Structure 1
Amino acid sequence: MRKKRSTYRISILAILTAIIVLQDFIPMLGNIPIGPLSLTTLHVTVIITAIVLGPVDGAIVGGVWGVLTWIRAFAFPSSPLAPLVFVNPLVSVFPRIMIGLVAGWTFMALFKLFKHSLSSMVIAAILGALTNTVLVLGFIYIFYHTPEVAKVYGVNVSNLFKALSAIFVTNGLAEMLMAAIIAPLIATPLRKVTQRQQAS
């Protein structure tokens, strides 16, 4: 029984990992270029993994995405900003791992308290997306408060904080809304199948 559950979990984890690799490499599927930025959809896959399989597996899939982001920053960047900031693992890898941990822990805690899966998923998805946005933009400001980065945003260094704040309001809120809608729609049936598989 335990071996069967472990095999099923590994299979689902492998599928979700493959999906995030495809999202990262297929143009317009995982990263939608908008000016110097890239509106991402990959965080939704990480959040779904965290909700269905738990925070550790969510962190694994998030870590895969982060490592791909880091490699792409050197080899074939997804935006003009990438080779300037995503070469730093604290910007490219760490926030992606934290998406899975925050979303997974949030869902587990809320579901345990309130026994309501949909609202728990929505809140977990929002916090997971928020984690990515805050950490990435925050680390960019902390480590890359430079004229080169400011130039990519079309501002001078003194206005970099305002530019990053504007991105939070636009891209950040859009990514949170996307996660809040899509993650529960996919995670709900997948979680039911997983629970039935584990019960059998």
Structure 2
Amino acid sequence: MSILSILIAIIILQDFIPMLGNIPIGPLSLTTLHVTVIITAIVLGPVDGAIVGGVWGVITWIRAFTMPSSAIAPLVFVNPVVSVVPRIMIGLIAGWVFIGLTKVMKKPLVPMILSSVAGALTNTILVLGLIYLFYDTPAVAHSYGVNVHNLFKAFVAIFATNGIAEMVLAAVIAPAVATPLRRLHRPK
């Protein structure tokens, strides 16, 4: 319980301290918060990963109304399906992938790396996919600085830049932090 509380506090700090959890790059926001969710899923399991992801999602949803982290936040993150569900899924997917892979691999490093990649991909694919599904509109296209007919191409470019960067970040940092934490705490 205390480790979960600390990780929730970290996700809150990351979200509210500028340049710690969201690094703005033009209309985009490169996130590092998913790494904390993935670490939680690896160390404490998928349910606790989903809880920390859910806290991040609720904060994202509230901030979309009160103090958006990017130009598109007030347009798309006011929908909890876009702001909350993908964040919960990061913890579930990363945790399940880790549990599944540790059953077939003796050493945990490769499962940690692969679950980190899976968690980061879950976030990127769900957020971009849901934005495209719900918000294929001129207002969102304008926020991204593209014609509405080029919105899908813009999302592919975002995936190729932000998505891959966030995936590499997670694959490097999450195992490095989760390894010593797992020595202190074994998931149920």
Give the TM-score normalised by structure 1. Answer: 0.93
In structure 2, the residue matched to 1:107 is 98
Deviation at 1:133, TM superposition (A): 0.1
Q: Mark the structure with the bigger radius of gyration.
A: 1
Q: Who is 1:85 aligned against?
A: 76
Instruction: Please list every run of at least 4 consecutive aligned residues from structure 1 whose deviation after the TM superposition is greater than 2 angstroms.
Output: none
Superposed CA RMSD in Å reads: 1.1
Q: Could you list the per-position Cα deviations for residues 152-184 of structure 1 after superposition, in whole angstroms to 9, with x for gaps in the alignment?
A: 111111000000000000000000000000000
% of aligned pairs identical? 73
2:36 aligned with 1:30:
no
Q: What per-residue deviation string (whole Å, max 9, x for no partner) do you get for residues 50-88 of structure 1?
A: 000000000000000000000000000001100000000
Show CA shifts across 1:18-76 (max 9, x none). Answer: 00000000000000000101100000000000000000000000000000000000000
Structure 1 counterpart of 2:178: 187
Distance across 2 between alignment mates of 1:37 and 1:73? 14
Q: Match for 1:72 among 63, 70, 75?
A: 63
Does residue 1:164 correspond to 2:155, yes or no?
yes
- How many residues get paired? 188
Letter in 1 for 2:123: N
TM-score under structure 2 length normalisation: 0.98
Pair 1:136 & 2:127 matched? yes
CA apart distance, 1:115? 1.7
Counterpart position of 2:43: 52
- Unpaired runs of 5+ residues, structure 2, are none
Separation in structure 1 between the aligned mates of residue 105 and residue 146 of structure 2, nearest angstrom: 46
Residue 116 of structure 1 deviates from its aligned partner by 1.9
